[in-house]
Chains A and B, each alone.
Chain A
Amino acid sequence: MPLIKDGQFVEDSWTVLQQDDEVPPKGDVIVPLERYLSDTDELNRRVGRVGVALENTADPDDIAPYLNDIDLVALTFPAFTDGRAYSQARQLRHHLGFGGELRATGNVLADQAGFLKQVGFDAFEVTPNQSIDIWVKASEAVTLAYQRGYDGNRKTRDKLRPSPLPQHPSDCAAVAEQSAPA
C-alpha cells in the first residue's frame, strides 16, 4: 500500500508480518500484538526496528510497558466509519506518551486526513489510486479546530489570537431602543 508522510508519498521500509510468519534476520517489521507479546525479547533484540499492529479492539495499555522498544504502532480502520482507532491513537499519544510513528491502516480516506493528524497519526497507508493532491487538499480544507489539546496543525482559537470581548451596547440594546415607548 502506498504510504503518505508529511504530505508526500514515501518509501515504506517496514515489512508487515502475520502471527506465524517467519521473522527476517534484519529490517523493520510490524507484527501483530499477540506475536509481539509472545516473542518480545527476540523481537526487541534483533537488528531492525519493531512495530506493533493493534486491532481496534485492543487496549493500548497492553503495550504500555514496551513503548520504549517499539518504534511504530499501526492502528486500523476496518471501515472508515469505524472510529475506534481515533481514541486508541489519542490514548497512545497522550496517556502513554508514545513518540514513535503512528500509522493509520485499512480504509483510510483523504477526507479523514485532518482528524487523523489531530489525534496523532503521522503516517497513512492509503488505497493505490489515491492522488497526493487530493490528500493534501483534503487534509488542509479546515485549518481551525475548536478542540484544545489535540495535535496536528489546525489552530485553536487561543492559539490564533485572543478574541476581543464583544462591545456593548449590542444589537439587543439597539432593538430595545427602537421598541422603547415614545
Chain B
Amino acid sequence: MYRYDEFDTTFVRQRVDQFRDQVDRRVSGELTEEQFRPLRLMNGLYLQLHAYMLRVAVPYGTLNSRQMRKLAFIADEYDKGYGHFTTRQNIQYNWPKLPDVPNILDHLADVEMHAIQTSGNCIRNVTADQWAGAAGDEVEDPRPYAELMRQWSSLHPEFSFLPRKFKIAVTGAASDRAAIAYHDIGLRLTRSANGEIGFEVLAGGGMGRTPMLGVTVRDWLPKDELLAYLEAIMRVYNLHGRRDNKYKARIKILVHELGAEEFTRQVEEEYKRIDAPRVMPPAQELVRIKDYFAPPVYEDLPDQSPELARCMSDDADFAQWVDRNVVAHKQPGYAIVNISLKPVGGVPGDASSGQMRAVADLAEQKSHDEIRVTHEQNLVLPHVRKSDLYGVWQTLKTHGLADANIGLATDIISCPGLDYCALATARSIPISQDISRRLGDISRQRDIGDLKIKISGCINACGHHHAGHIGILGLEKRGEEYYQITLGGSGDETASIGEIIGPGFSSETVTDAVETIVDTYVGLRQDGETFLDAYRRLGPNPFKEAVYATH
C-alpha cells in the first residue's frame, strides 16, 4: 500500500501544526465559534449531540497493522475504548476533547494518517472497492487512482469552499461494490472498444433528501486526463451549484436542474480550456504511486487447500463462515476474508480497541499486513492463504468477530442516529439491534439469503437507506420517533432508489413490519430468487398488503 514520502509527511505535519494553531486561537478567543466551525470541520472535527466527534480518514479504506494499532491506541488514550467504522470507509471517535485533538492528529501523522477533509464542504475521503487488488473481476486496481485523487483533493486551493460536501468513489470492477452511482462523481475503470483502459465518469448521484443516480458524463476518459476532467466538473459545480438552500446544494441538483446534457456541455466547454498535461502529475509520479500497490509477494500455491476442505467438513460453524464471509481471490490458494462488525444485537460498525488490535495482528501475520474498511461498515483481510483460514477464524471467534453474516439480514448498515448525531431526528442503532435480534438466528438468516437492510436516523441518509433492499428512515413527529420503510433500493451495478411503501411505523412496530416483509418474500420467492430479484419481479404491492394488513 501507499507509503508517505518526505513530501507527504511534511504536508501532513504542517496541516497538524496549522490546526493546532487554529485550536489555540479558538481557545484563546481569537477565533469565534462561527470562524472556527468551518476550520474544524475541514479537519473532521464535529460538535455532536453530547461531545465532539473526530472523523479520521482511511483513504479508500486501506489500513496496515501499524495504523490499526494506532487507531486502537487513540481509542484507549483519548476516547472510551472503541471506534466506529463508517460508510465512507473512515473511523470516527465519539468522545475526544478539543485540546487533545491536535495531539491525536500528531499520533495519526506518525502512522501516515490524517483527518483532512473528512467533513466540510470540500472533497471528502475518496472511497473505492474494498476488494481492490484482490478481486478477480477487476479491469485494473483502482487504488493508485484513488491515492492520486486523495493527494489532488487535499487542501485544494480552489475547491475547499464548495456549495456542499463532495464525494468521489472509484471501482475497477464490473461488480460495483463502491456504489458509484450514488456519488457526486463515480468512476469506473473500463476498457474502450479498442481495449484501452480508461474511466467511465458519472456525476450527479447522491442520497440525502432527494436521492438521485449519477448520469454518465463521459463514456470513456483517458486515464492521464483524470484530474483535469475532475477539475472541469468541480469548477462548473463550484461556480454554479446552488448556495441558497443547503438541501439543494449538492451537485445532483445542479445536474438535475440543468439536465444531464447541458451539464455535460458546460463541463466539456470548461474542460477544453484546461491545460490537461499541466494538471496531471508527470507519468513517473503515477509510476511511483502504482509501485506501492504492486501485488504482495504471493506464494505459489495450489488453488485447493486440503486443510481447508477438512476443516470445513469437520466444523459446520466454520463452513458457514467460509460460505458467507470468504470470497474468491485472484491468486490461486488465497482468499479474501470479510470480518463482520455486525454481531447480533451489536452496534453496526463499532469495534473495541481489543478487536482492532486482534485484526491488526491477524493482518500482520496472515494478510500481507493489509486491512480494508468497507462502506458496509465491516473489515476485510484481503490476502489470506486458504490453509490459514481456520486459524484466522478461530482467532476472530475469540474476539467476537466471527459472525458469519456478511450480506445477510443482520449485516445492517446504520448511521449513528440520535444516539450521537446532532442532525439526527430519530435513533437508528437501537432499531438495527432490534431487527438484528429478531432475524438473528443463523439458519433463518441463511434461508432468507442476500438482504441489505440500511437505516438512517435522518433525511441526510448517512445510513444509505435509499440503497437498501429494505431501507429505513427515522423521523420524529410530536415527540415520537417513527420509521418510514422503502423497498427495492440497491447500490450495486444495477443501482436503484428504494420506494416508500406507505405510512411510517413506531419504534415498537417497525421490526414487526420488517419481519413481515421478509416473511412475505420467503413465501413468494421462486427458486434461488433473492429478495431484490423477487421485489423487482413482484413490485411493492404484495409487501404493502402484508404489512398494512397486519400492522
Residues of A with Cβ closer than 8 Å to B? Answer: 80-84, 86-88, 90-91, 94-95, 109, 111, 114-116, 118-119, 134, 137-138, 141-150, 152, 157-158, 160, 162-163, 165-166, 168-173, 175-176, 178-181
Contact call A169/B297, Cβ cutoff below 8 A: yes
Q: Which of A119, A158, A178 contacts B282 (CB 8 A)?
A: A158
Q: Which of B21, B121, B152 contacts A141 (CB 8 A)?
A: B21
Contacts of A157 in B (CB 8 A): 7, 281, 285
Find out whether the CB atom of B299 lies under 8 angstroms from the CB atom of A176. yes
In the complex, the chain B residue whose C-beta lies closest to that of A155 is B7
Cβ distance A116 to chain B, nearest Cβ, rounded Å: 8
Whether A86 contacts B157 by the Cβ 8 Å rule is yes
B366: A residues at CB distance < 8 A: 179
Tell me if B533 is interfacial: C-beta within 8 Å of chain A: no
Q: Which of B298-335 contact A (CB under 8 A)?
A: 298-299
The 8 Å CB contact of A143, one of B14, B38, B291, B385, is B14
Q: What is the chain A residue whose CB lies nearest that of B369?
A: A175
A166 cross-chain contacts in B, Cβ below 8 A: 3, 288, 291-292
**Contacts A148-B280, A157-B7 known; 6 new A-B pairs at CB < 8 A:** A111-B39, A157-B281, A163-B6, A166-B288, A170-B292, A175-B365
B493 at the interface (CB under 8 A from A): no
Knowing A143-B14, A148-B281 touch, does A178 contact B39 (C-beta < 8 A)?
Answer: no
Smallest CB–CB gap between B95 and chain A, Å?
27
10 A-B Cβ contacts within 8 A? A87-B238, A111-B39, A142-B11, A144-B11, A157-B285, A165-B287, A166-B291, A166-B292, A172-B369, A175-B368
Q: How many A-B residue pairs have CB under 8 A?
A: 140
Which of the residues B238, B239, B284, B296 comes within 8 Å of A172, measured between beta carbons? B296
Q: Check: B509 CB closer than 8 A to any chain A CB.
A: no
Beta-carbon contact of B156 and A147 below 8 Å: yes
For A80, list chain B residues within 8 Å (CB).
Answer: 38, 161
Cross-chain contact A146 with B155 (CB below 8 angstroms): yes
> Is B480 engaged at the interface, CB distance under 8 Å to the other chain?
no
A137's partner among B21, B152, B154 (CB-CB below 8 A) is: B21
Q: Top 6 A-B pairs ranked by shortest CB distance?
A: A83-B161, A118-B157, A141-B18, A149-B278, A172-B296, A115-B157
- Residues of chain B within 8 A of A138, CB atoms compared: 18, 21
Contacting residues, chain B, for A95 (C-beta < 8 A): 273
Does B191 count as interface, using CB distance less than 8 angstroms? no
Q: With a CB–CB cut-off of 8 A, which chain B residues contact A142?
A: 11, 14-15, 18, 155
Determine if B545 is an interface residue (Cβ-Cβ < 8 Å): no
CA distance A172 to B366 in the complex (A): 11
Q: Are A81 and B161 in contact (CB under 8 A)?
A: yes
**From B15, which residue of chain A is reached at the shortest CB distance?**
A142
Q: How far apart are the CA atoms of A179 and B294 in the complex, in Å?
A: 19
Whether A83 contacts B296 by the Cβ 8 Å rule is: no
Question: How close is A158's CB to chain B, nearest CB, in angstroms?
Answer: 6
Whether B157 pairs with A152 at a CB distance below 8 angstroms is yes
Q: Distance in Å from the Cβ of B491 to the closest Cβ of chain A?
A: 29
Asked whether A163 and B369 contact (CB < 8 A) given A144-B11, A173-B297, the answer is no
In angstroms, Cα B462 to Cα A15, docked, is 49
Across the interface, which residues of A come within 8 angstroms of B22, CB to CB? 111
Cβ of B288 and Cβ of A145 under 8 Å apart? no
Contact with A90, one of B17, B39, B235, B368 (Cβ below 8 angstroms): B235
| Cβ-closest chain B residue relative to A58 | B239
User: In the bound complex, do residue A175 and residue B17 qualify as a contact, i.e. CB atoms below 8 Å apart?
Assistant: no
A162 to B282, CA, bound (A): 10
Bound complex: CA of A70 vs CA of B152, how far in Å?
A: 33
Across-interface contacts of A90 in B (CB, < 8 A): 158, 235
Is B278 a contact of A86 with CB atoms below 8 Å? Answer: no
Residues A149 and B275 in contact, CB atoms below 8 Å apart = yes
User: Which B residues between 4 and 32 are near A, CB-CB below 8 angstroms?
Assistant: 5-7, 10-11, 14-15, 17-18, 21-22, 30
The reply to whether B296 and A158 contact each other, CB–CB distance below 8 Å, is: no
B157–A145 touching, CB < 8 Å: yes
Let me know if A179 and B152 touch, CB within 8 A: no
Which residues does chain B contribute within 8 Å of A150, judged by CB atoms? Answer: 157-158
- Check B297–A179 contact: CB distance below 8 A: no
B478 CB to closest chain A CB (Å) equals 34
Of A137, A173, A178, which is within 8 A of B296 by CB?
A: A173
Taking CB atoms, residues of chain B closer than 8 Å to A119 are: 157-158
Contact between chains at A109 and B35 (CB < 8 Å): yes
Can you list, as one digit per residue, whether each of B154-171 has a CB less than 8 Å from chain A (1) or not (0)? 111111111000000000
Chain A: CB-nearest residue to B14: A142
**How far in angstroms is the closest Cβ of chain A from B77?**
25
A84-B14 contact in complex given A145-B155, A175-B368, C-beta closer than 8 Å: no
- By a CB distance below 8 angstroms, the chain A residues around B287 are 165
In the complex the two chains form, is A146's CB within 8 Å of B21's CB?
Answer: no
* B157 and chain A: residue at smallest CB distance: A118
Bound-state CA distance A16–B157 (Å) is 27
A172 near B297 with CB under 8 A, answer: yes
Q: How far is the CB of B25 from chain A (nearest CB, A)?
A: 8
